[in-house]
Amino acid sequence: MIILSNNQNKPGASSFFGVQREIYLALESSPETHQYDSMHELLFDILLRENIIKAARQLYASRVEFAPFNTSRFNPRIWRGTKYGYLLDPSVLPSDAIMDVFTNSWEYAFECTTAIVLIFYKAVMDSISVSRFNTLFQGLLVWDWNYDHDLSIVTTRGRYFIPGDVVYFYNPDYDHPVWTGENSVYLGGGMFFGHGVGMESEAGMIRALNTLRKPGATRDAYLISQHSRLNVKYLSQFAKRPLSIV
């Protein structure tokens, strides 16, 4: 359920269209309370979620390959490999570096967790001013769950997913550690995107992971009751402009 502070009136679903309408309806019908200090904050959450979904679809359509760390690659003109991940060249703007992943995608190969972090960065970049993005995210180090504290990812338990949430399909009988599970963006409409598996329904994601189990495996993969979200209250202060219902 959506609650606006100070008894502010909520917008109606008719104020939104397409993916934004689906996000609004999911927030409003959620058994969780989604508390916002202002209309701006609510609209920013909807915008950010829409941009997470867009970035996930862009990565799905790209030429980025799936790879564990030992065979991974990042554009060497922009990123420097270290034993902890890929460090941004200080001469390159963070916004240019994140955009490069999507525009020169053939230069990249990484696993699903890194994909999620890069999707989050792209969505935030598309939702706030570029100058703010470049100020907030200097010195990026990317791999696995390495991310700048200003990205502010919050993971909590819960089974009711809102489009734009990141969820995890666990594969207990994995054949290779890289397939322990699959971090995925919930796209809405019962569909998920996980880098390395692709765009699938919940059943499709489980079927795919079940093909990546050790011989004699007896336990199916499954979607755990957990979701990861960005800290909208913090990030909304950097929006490109004040957001309101016209």
- 39-48: pLDDT as tens digits: 999 999 999 9
Say whether pLDDT at 244 is over 90: no
Distance set, CA 65 to CA 86, 93, 104, 107, 108 (Å): 16, 24, 12, 9, 6
pTM of the model: 0.96
Confidence band (pLDDT; 50, 70, 90) for 9? confident
- 159-182: pLDDT as tens digits: 999 999 999 999 999 998 999 999
Arithmetic mean of pLDDT, 127-150 = 95
| Angle of CA points 58, 60, 66, to nearest 5° | 130
**Higher-confidence position of 37 and 240:** 37
Arithmetic mean of pLDDT, 4-9 = 85
Q: Looking at residue 246, what is its pLDDT?
A: 61
Say whether pLDDT at 110 is over 80: yes
Q: For residue 195, which of 19, 63, 51, 48 has the smallest C-alpha distance?
A: 63
- Choose the weakest-confidence range: 3-12, 21-30, 137-146, 216-225: 3-12
Arithmetic mean of pLDDT, 97-103 = 98
CA distance 175 to 210: 10
Q: Which two tokens stand for residue 34?
A: 């989604």
Q: Looking at residue 85, what is its pLDDT?
A: 96
Q: Would you give the DSSP letter of residue 63?
A: -
**Higher-confidence position of 29 and 240:** 29
- 87-99: pLDDT as tens digits: 999 999 999 999 9
Helix or strand or coil: residue 72?
Answer: coil
CA distance 77 to 88: 10
Arithmetic mean of pLDDT, 177-191 = 96
Confidence band (pLDDT; 50, 70, 90) for 22? very high
